[in-house]
Structure 1
Amino acid sequence: MSVFRAAAIQMRSGVDPQRNAADLVDYVDDAVGKGAVYVQTPEMTGALQRDRKALASVLRGESEDIIVRTASELAARHKIHLHIGSTAIAVEDSKIANRAFFFGPDGNILTRYDKIHMFDVDLDNGESWRESAVYSPGNDTVVLDLPFAKLGLAICYDVRFPQLFRAQALAGASVITAPAAFTRQTGEAHWNVLQRARAIENGAFMISAAQGGVHEDGRETFGHSIIVAPWGEVLAEAAHADPAIIIADIDPALSAAARAKVPNLKNARPFGVLVENDGRSERLADAS
């Protein structure tokens, strides 16, 4: 495993996939010009559209999707690893997948990942989200063995489920990711601490490109794309919600060093959960 330069692209995707694809070309060209060999984009790179009918009208299957086609061409042209944080893809039975794509330097798709955890919440500022009403969730996390590191894939709300990243770390991932379209309210409260926590507790680099700003469909996302080292240092961060590219050099050996200092992955033990109630004990299923 060797040191590599990573870029996280902060976007403000609109409702038109063709315009977003054109922006993608400019951003990737810029990132490569800064020396990046791994480039990550945020969740919903292809379109942010809260109107379900309008979203359905621009969706295509994977073989016809403009973001997939554009990303493949960019990866091959620049001979880079290109990680599309996610884009909406039409799948069977009129369903939609919130799907990440990872392209190799030949332009071929190395792997896909469908977002597992659906953002079904009612925020106290009046925002209400029901991703499960629109998207079909995935079932499997993914760890990709690359020439420069083992990398784990996740998307946005997944970051609140630490067991997913622990499973990736135990599978050997030294780099974990959570490209996102975090709401402004939740981002202001939790984004930075969640990103650093996942890095620290797994002794892994955390790379998360984000959507940022007020979008055409009216939603507002937090931005602040971030790259965190395994010891918790923030290596790069967008200090705002405007479109941007952040860059950091990633040395996977630092992941091994952090895990040697605090070997919590090795020291973990299974345990039970006892619930005590009025002198009676109930043992729940074992956890770990």
Structure 2
Amino acid sequence: MKVALHQMVAGPNKEENLRRVLEKLSRADADLHVFPEYLMGVGEGGVSREHVHALAEPLEGPFAASVVEKSGELGTAVAFSAFLREGDGVYNAAVLADRGRVVTVYRKVHLFDAFGYRESSVFAPGDSLAVARLGDFTVGLAVCFDLRFPELFRAMALRGAELFIVPSAWYRGPYKVEQWLALTAARAHENTAYLIAVDQTGSLFAGHSTIVTPLGHRLVDLGEREGVIVVEINRGEVEEARRLVPVLQLLRRDLYVRWYGDSGA
């Protein structure tokens, strides 16, 4: 599978961001295109409830529908983010579309209430996994801050995920790049799965979009500039890693269930 990583800055204007996304889809030849979190728009100081709720749309709205339609026109798959309005709530969502059809939608479970930010004041929390088949791979979706919660990725791996896709807007700050690199490698290797994490960049966000292999090798790091790179991944590497390091087979689920129960989790 040829994967295009689109590291970019999303400005405050939703229509301009959509125009750039559609243009980028047309320019890169790939089986799967992956875009960052907060793709609909970011204000000067980041996201705010007022800005997000003004931009939010249902899945059938023009932003998501245009990207999904473009995937059908080009015969490709796209993983992108959206401020998804459902009923009275707005979710920070990742959408996986393939050739004009929505395959699955993930609503961010772990909201970014850390480092002085409070994403829970902006978004409603999700409560479900998103695992689906795409080509030769079973894919699991997560978003940004979810990288700090290994349980989510292990749950997806136990449901068959061989490739994690993580749209991100990882804020800059002391040691944040080191944390990003450590967590992306750990989530991939501990589950013997590929991990694709595409980040925003610019003045607010750290960049360093990456692909990590099932054995923890980093195939690419896009640094801090806007750009796109196309990388080929092979499901055979997942099979070989799981033969060499069979952590999913050796997992003591009986103990973990008891331990989590004892802790009240």
For the criterion TM > 0.5, the same-fold answer is: yes
- Which residue of 2 is the match for residue 278 of structure 1? none
Superposed, 1:55-74 pairs within 5 Å as 55-64=52-61, 66-74=62-70
Structure 1 gaps, min length 5: 215-219, 276-282
- 1:78 matches 2:62: no
TM superposition outliers: structure 1 runs of 4+ over 4 Å: 272-275
**Which of 207, 230, 248 does residue 247 from structure 1 map onto?**
230
Shift of the 268–29 alpha-carbon distance from structure 1 to 2, 3 Å rule, reads same
**CA offsets 1:167-187 (integer angstroms, 9 cap, x no match):** 111111111122100011163
How many aligned positions are there?
259
**Which of 101, 112, 115 does residue 108 from structure 2 map onto?**
115
Q: C-alpha displacement at 1:146, in angstroms?
A: 1.9
**Which of 182, 192, 195 does residue 181 from structure 2 map onto?**
192
TM-score, scaled to structure 1: 0.85
**CA offsets 1:35-73 (integer angstroms, 9 cap, x no match):** x11111111111123232233223222222x32022112
Query: Contact 1:271 / 1:286 at 8 angstroms: preserved in 2?
Result: no
**CA offsets 1:178-226 (integer angstroms, 9 cap, x no match):** 2100011163230111111111101111001111112xxxxx1001110
What is the letter of the counterpart of residue 211 of structure 1? Q
Structure 2 gaps, min length 5: none
Larger-Rg structure = 1
**Which of 154, 161, 176 does residue 166 from structure 1 map onto?**
154
Whose strand proportion is higher, 1 or 2?
Answer: 1
**Which of 226, 247, 252 does residue 264 from structure 1 map onto?**
247
- Which residue of 2 is the match for residue 91 of structure 1? 86
Query: Contact 2:138 / 2:163 at 8 angstroms: preserved in 1?
Result: yes
TM-score, scaled to structure 2: 0.92
What is the letter of the counterpart of residue 284 of structure 1? D
**Which of 11, 26, 50 does residue 8 from structure 2 map onto?**
11
Other structure's SS at 1:193 match = helix
Distance 1:262 1:170 in 2: 15
Shift of the 108–266 alpha-carbon distance from structure 1 to 2, 3 Å rule, reads same
Query: Contact 1:272 / 1:284 at 8 angstroms: preserved in 2?
Result: no
**CA offsets 1:101-147 (integer angstroms, 9 cap, x no match):** 11111x121111100001111x3xxxx21111110111111111122
Percent identical pairs in the alignment equals 30
- Aligned Cα root-mean-square deviation (Å): 2.1
